[in-house]
Amino acid sequence: PRLINQSVDVLRKGGVLVYPTDSGYALGCMLGEKNAMERICQIRHLDSNHNFTIVCRDLSEISTYAYVDKAAFRLMKNNTPGNYTFILKATKEVPRRLMSEKRKTIGLRVPSNEIALALLEALNEPLMSTTLMLPGNDFAESDPEEIQDHLGKRIDLIIHGGFLGQKPTT
């Protein structure tokens, strides 16, 4: 709990953290934090049009940020929590810079990783997130020691969840 509370403090102060998910490690920040988002883009060598994912605690939180019809709800109910990202039409709650510009959509997911869920619960709101893939790699980073070696001071905190197998999100 202490590390989770420390992580919440870092996020609320505009920080960037690395946290474990069911598909490897991810970079996360608060939804409204433009500077943190820019830092994440620099770390990953992404352009400003990159589509981030909103990571939510549960399906009810997803409905705040996306329009969910009955068919989508059933599909999500059967596949969450887990390593699926759902692309849905965004509501007005989503900052414009997070949406796919042409389609006005957003990627959303509910992780099954216990640490990620504990973080979201303590934060009491979703995270803006992207998979942590270092330039030149095709898979999410899975070794927190390697992440520390590569990123060090460029991030504010790493939540160490041990070595994670590489299961890409779908």
* Cα→Cα distances 132→32, 92, 139, 166, Å: 20, 27, 8, 12
pLDDT grade for 49, boundaries at 50, 70 and 90: confident
pLDDT tens digit sequence for 75-123: 999 999 998 999 999 999 888 777 767 778 999 999 999 999 999 999 9
pLDDT tens digit sequence for 2-37: 999 999 999 999 999 999 998 889 999 999 899 999
pLDDT, position 19: 95
Phi and psi at 54, nearest 5°, equal -95, 120
pLDDT, position 150: 86
Q: What is the pTM of this model?
A: 0.89
Residue linked to tokens 């830092």: 39
CATH 3.90.870.10 fits 2-135, yes or no: yes
pLDDT, position 51: 84
pLDDT, position 154: 92
Burial 98-131 (b: 16+ CB within 10 A, else e): bbeeeeebbbbbbbebebbbbbbeebeebbbbbb
pLDDT, position 103: 76
pLDDT grade for 41, boundaries at 50, 70 and 90: very high
Nearest to 159 by CA among 5, 46, 7: 7
Per-domain boundaries in the chain = 2-135
pLDDT grade for 144, boundaries at 50, 70 and 90: confident
Taking the C-alpha atoms of residue 124 and residue 101, their distance in angstroms, rounded to an integer, is 28
User: What is the average pLDDT score of the chain?
Assistant: 88
Contact 48, 102 (CB under 8 A): no
